[in-house]
Amino acid sequence: KQEVTQIPAALSVPEGENLVLNCSFTDSAIYNLQWFRQDPGKGLTSLLLIQSSQREQTSGRLNASLDKSSGRSTLYIAASQPGDSATYLCACFTGNQFYFGTGTSLTVIP
């Protein structure tokens, strides 16, 4: 069964800093990997989706990379802002379903 891990569980950074969130998975036979943002008490908002044949995707200040062979993905956030404060989750599609990590709670300090 696919296991997805996100480290660290929580992260605090000063505004303006560039940061990297990590996601690792045990089964490299994934169809794709999706990064989400979750605000407190809310649903998930899709940020980026990387197909298994791709190595990275970019959207604005966000860049996600995928290394299937090593079972890793990273989400790079440039020039962080207080509005980026949220929990970030990654999910891998393996078999017939998505498997989710437990998330990284990000706080950007003004």
Partner 1 sequence: DGGITQSPKYLFRKEGQNVTLSCEQNLNHDAMYWYRQDPGQGLRLIYYSQIVNDFQKGDIAEGYSVSREKKESFPLTVTSAQKNPTAFYLCASSTGGRGQPQHFGDGTRLSIL
Single residue of 101, 104, 106, 108 touching partner 1 by CB under 8 A: 101
> Could you give the CA distance from residue 42 to residue 24 in angstroms, rounded to a whole number?
24
Encoded one letter per residue, x for contact with partner 1 by CB under 8 A and - for no contact, window 36-75 reads x----xxxxxx--x-xx-----------------------
Residue 59's closest CA among 81, 83, 78, 42?
78
Identity of the residue, 53 or 69, whose beta carbon is nearer to partner 1 in the bound complex: 53
Encoded one letter per residue, x for contact with partner 1 by CB under 8 A and - for no contact, window 17-36 reads -------------xxx-x-x
Question: At its nearest, how many Å lie between partner 1 and the CB of residue 97?
Answer: 5
Residue 75's closest CA among 89, 57, 63?
63
Query: For 26, what's the count of Cα atoms within 13 Å in the CB-facing half-sphere?
Result: 8
Identity of the residue, 8 or 16, whose beta carbon is nearer to partner 1 in the bound complex: 8
For CA atoms 68, 33, 42, 18, the dihedral sign is positive
Question: Helix, strand, or coil here: 82?
Answer: helix
Question: Under the rule (CB under 8 A), what is the footprint of partner 1?
Answer: 4, 30-32, 34, 36, 41-46, 49, 51-52, 89, 91, 93, 96-103
